[in-house]
Amino acid sequence: MVDTKTRRWINFIVSILLILKADGLYVRITYVENAVAKGAVCLDGSPPAYHLDRGSGAGINNWLIHLEGGAWCNNATTCLARSDTGLGSSKQMFPQIPFSGILDNEQIFNPDFYNWNRVEIRYCDGSSFTGDVEAVDPGTNLHYRGARIWRAVIEDLMEKGMKNAKNALLTGCSAGGLAAILHCDGFRSLMPMHTKVKCLADAGYFINVNDINGKPTIQGYYGDVVNTHGSAKNLPSSCTSRMNPSMCFFPQYSAPQIKTPIFILNAAYDSWQINNILAPVDADLHNTWYECKANIEHCSPNEMQTMQDFRNEFLKAIAGVQSSMENGLFINSCYSHCQSLTQETWLRADSPVLDKIPIAKAVGDWYYDRSPFQKIDCPYPCDSSCHNDIYEFKGHSEA
């Protein structure tokens, strides 16, 4: 850990810088209008979109592509509800969004990627960019075209200079982190041979585990997602050739076969997975897990043991990725979800660390081959550097 005096000093400096940077970097939206003719559209038929902040200096030919998260929709009803939001329609998206963490444009906040071309691809299909159904649903007018969105946006970025990339990093958070895993090798194949390509999945390693009642809830849900969106043909063939395509939505079955180097950034007690996979509302009808899910410090001994069992299953599930030293791991024992997009978790004096190394440095060292990084934290509550999530439940959370 950083010693107390140093931590306080750096915190003071960073606090001043944050005050000076109060307005932050806001990046305008770009609509890919010509994608509509290719059928590459959001759920409601509107064009896909992304936000691009151009690189400069030594980073002018480097590209960081970040895939937005936001869970999934698994049938016509849930997809229809989604189509009237920014997660299903570019008409509902904010015209500007802030870039921070791994997307920040200042060296002190993002030392290895600040001057790259940094892109946030908006998520409006509900399938982690894997869907491709030709027919438009006649009853709802929904379009299931996530894979087409992926291709259309990448083609647009290629035209804007990515075809000349020297370095490229595909990343994403949550459902976008899962997409970064599923599209990792495909992204590599689309880039020039000379380009150094790696992938980073932040909170995208969703595991196949039964809920607190012993039921495979997430398995059935993912099956519905794959069937609704026609995702099977766009999932890694190295996995679908061996098992049911819906199982390939789980990284533990698809990630070990990925040939492109990949970094898994995840909390072992991923708060979204605890809330929606381990103890979903339908499995906890009496709300006995309410306090525990809202704040890990309020878990009973029995609930905490169940959480520790979940961590053990998570560690088993990442073993296949861990076996290759080309891959990176930052698995901390925090109760959190997504740690690369906010400054307090990506790089700050009090941000999470493993062996005194913050996430930004671990990822940067791994990407540039300065040093490998595969670290797994001790069990909760040993890590005092965590920024644990605390929830006030007002509805279903998004991944």
Helices (H), the chain: 4-20, 76-82, 146-159, 175-182, 184-190, 217-229, 237-240, 251-254, 271-273, 290-294, 301-317, 319-322, 343-346, 359-367
Q: What is the DSSP string of 278-337?
A: IS-GGG-TT-TTHHHHH-GGG--HHHHHHHHHHHHHHHHHTHHHHT-TTSEEEEE--S-S
Distances (CA, A) of 36 to 29, 48, 148: 17, 8, 10
The tally of CA atoms less than 13 A away on the side-chain side of residue 106 is 15
Q: Which of 337, 383, 385, 387 is catalytic?
A: 337
* Owner of token pair 């691009």: 52
Distances (CA, A) of 45 to 37, 96, 124, 141: 11, 21, 10, 8
Write out the two tokens for 214: 């012993």
Please tell me the distance from the alpha carbon of residue 149 to that of residue 37, in angstroms, as a whole number: 12
Q: Which of 112, 270, 284, 383 is catalytic?
A: 270
Distance in Å from the first CA to the final CA of the chain: 30
309 is catalytic: no
Torsion sign over Cα 15, 17, 21, 25: negative
Residues 139, 164: contact at Cβ < 8 Å?
Answer: no
Q: Which of 100, 128, 174, 333 is catalytic?
A: 174
Please tell me the distance from the alpha carbon of residue 382 to that of residue 345, in angstroms, as a whole number: 17
270 is catalytic: yes
Rg of the chain's alpha carbons, rounded to an integer?
Answer: 20
**Number of Cβ atoms within 10 Å of the Cβ of 387:** 18
* Owner of token pair 């109760």: 335
Positions marked active-site: 174, 270, 337
